């Protein structure tokens, strides 16, 4: 009888310990709070770090968000709350307003690089910003479809530029010579190579990221003005 009681007592104690050792319940709100508290760049996020913060195992976290991309999406969505509102259109032409908007998006992406892979999904999950931008362009004389395409083209241009910009900054910080800096080295080391590029007479000014961005946006806006449904195209019909 004594042996039986002892066995039952041990079994009961094991079940109690098992219950105490179970992972606590988690939900998206708790996961978002953990990501917010941990902070850091998207590259610093890890499933284990978040799981440890929540007091659960990694498998449990995987069941809720699917993996590291899920964490990055959460981080990107949280970054949206830190952004300023879209620049107002008052006092602008459509061209000058798109320049200001371009700088707005560039600044947001540089400050929050975790947004880069999920720009529209993270910045505008309810399509309200897209509606706002399209309606402003329509008020400037764009047809609705042309306004939507102009927005899409501009966002694609900006994200492509910022992606290259951040890559250049990362290369510089790690001691690797960025692409265009290597071009200068090649032109100096091999005077007979690359004759077309040499004829451009590149200088250090051409490596200025701000000036290059303005030039890229100028080309983008010039292209938009030539598309069907733009104010300029409509005026020439």
Is residue 106 a contact partner of residue 119, using CB atoms and an 8 Å limit?
A: no
Identify the pLDDT of residue 114: 74
Is the dihedral angle over the CA atoms 15, 19, 23, 28 positive or is it negative? positive
Classify burial at 51, counting beta carbons within 10 Å of its beta carbon; exposed 0-12, middle 13-18, buried 19 or more: buried
- 142-199: per-residue pLDDT in tens? 999 999 999 999 999 999 999 999 988 888 888 888 888 888 888 888 888 899 998 9
Indicate the pTM of the whole model.
0.72
* pLDDT over 80 at 108, yes or no: yes
Structural domains of the chain, with CATH: 2-80 (1.10.10), 86-235 (1.10.357.10)
Q: Which has more pLDDT, 207 or 106? A: 106
Identify the pLDDT of residue 120: 65
């Amino acid at each position: 009888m004594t042996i039986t009681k002892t066995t039952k007592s041990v079994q009961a104690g094991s079940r109690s310990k098992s219950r105490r050792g179970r992972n606590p319940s988690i939900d998206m709100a708790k996961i978002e709070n953990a990501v917010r508290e941990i902070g850091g760049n998207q590259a610093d996020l890890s499933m284990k770090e978040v799981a440890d913060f929540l007091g659960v195992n990694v498998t449990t976290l995987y069941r809720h968000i699917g993996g590291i991309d899920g964490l990055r999406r959460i981080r990107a969505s949280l970054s949206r709350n830190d952004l300023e509102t879209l620049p107002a259109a008052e006092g602008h032409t459509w061209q000058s307003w798109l320049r200001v908007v371009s700088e707005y998006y560039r600044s947001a992406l540089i400050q929050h690089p975790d947004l880069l892979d999920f720009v529209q999904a993270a910045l505008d999950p309810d399509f309200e910003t897209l509606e706002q931008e399209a309606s402003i362009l329509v008020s400037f004389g764009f047809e609705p479809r042309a306004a939507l395409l102009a927005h899409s083209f501009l966002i694609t241009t900006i994200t492509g530029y910022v992606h290259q910009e951040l890559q250049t900054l990362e290369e510089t910080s790690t001691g690797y010579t960025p692409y265009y800096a290597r071009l200068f080295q090649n032109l100096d080391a091999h005077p007979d190579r690359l004759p077309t590029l040499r004829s451009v007479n590149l200088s250090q000014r051409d490596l200025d990221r701000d000036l290059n961005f303005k030039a890229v946006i100028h080309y983008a806006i010039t292209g938009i003005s030539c598309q069907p449904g733009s104010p300029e195209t409509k005026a020439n019909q």
